[in-house]
Amino acid sequence: MVSAILRDEDIKSINLWITKMKQYKTQDTEWMTKAAVKTLKLDYKIIGYGYERVTYDLQNGYVLKVATSELGLKSNKNEFIIYKYCHAKLKEHLCPIKEVGYGWIIMKKMTIPVPRTEDYDNQLKYLKKRFRQYGVRPKDLVRPNLALTKKGKIVFIDYGDFTLK
């Protein structure tokens, strides 16, 4: 896989990690994340991690999400499929994907938090309903998985657990 953003050595490190990752299936999340970071040795700042992936700030307006488990591989693939095939009216509420490869995905970096206000809570309820109407089941809608655009629209920055009906 060739990337316009990642260096060849970054991709080689990711490929090495994905190969090793499959040997560590029974380990817990924290252990897997530490093993991934140690193996990857990427020159980017870690800005977050969850049960399935570790996220790096590429310092160019994008983030890199690397799978740390089989579920992480599925989440990356799922985000790509949903972003590529969902209805255009939904896409404006999904964090844009720049590139994807086996075990990794690059998305736009979005950092404006969604305020806890009645207005935004109502917008989120409306979006859940709208996604369902267009055949996407939104899951894991917690505040850390949301951001705002500069124009104030809610965007899902982690939609790896969403499913297409």
Q: What is the pLDDT of residue 141?
A: 82
**Same-domain status, 130 and 74:** no
**C-alpha to C-alpha distance for 142 and 158, rounded to whole angstroms:** 10
Range of the domain at 46: 8-108
pLDDT digits (tens, 9 = 90+) for 31-56: 999 999 999 999 999 999 988 999 99
Cα pseudo-dihedral 56, 59, 61, 64, rounded to 10: -20
Domain count along the chain = 2
Residues 54-59 have a mean pLDDT of 98
**Same-domain status, 38 and 74:** yes
pLDDT digits (tens, 9 = 90+) for 67-95: 999 999 999 999 999 999 999 999 999 99
Last residue of a domain, one of 108, 135, 155: 108
**Same-domain status, 39 and 82:** yes
Q: Is residue 23 part of a domain?
A: yes
**Same-domain status, 67 and 86:** yes
**C-alpha to C-alpha distance for 152 and 165, rounded to whole angstroms:** 28
Q: Is residue 3 part of a domain?
A: no
* pLDDT for residue 111 is more than 90: yes
Q: What is the pLDDT of residue 24?
A: 85
Q: What is the pLDDT of residue 129?
A: 95
pLDDT digits (tens, 9 = 90+) for 113-130: 999 999 999 999 999 999
pTM (2 decimals)? 0.94
**Same-domain status, 123 and 97:** no
Q: What is the pLDDT of residue 27?
A: 78
**Same-domain status, 102 and 24:** yes
Q: What is the pLDDT of residue 5?
A: 97
Q: Please give the C-alpha separations between residue 158 and each of 10, 136, 162, 163, in angstroms, as whole numbers.
A: 22, 14, 9, 12
Determine the distance from the C-alpha atom of residue 99 to the mean position of all C-alpha atoms in its chain, rounded to a whole number. 12
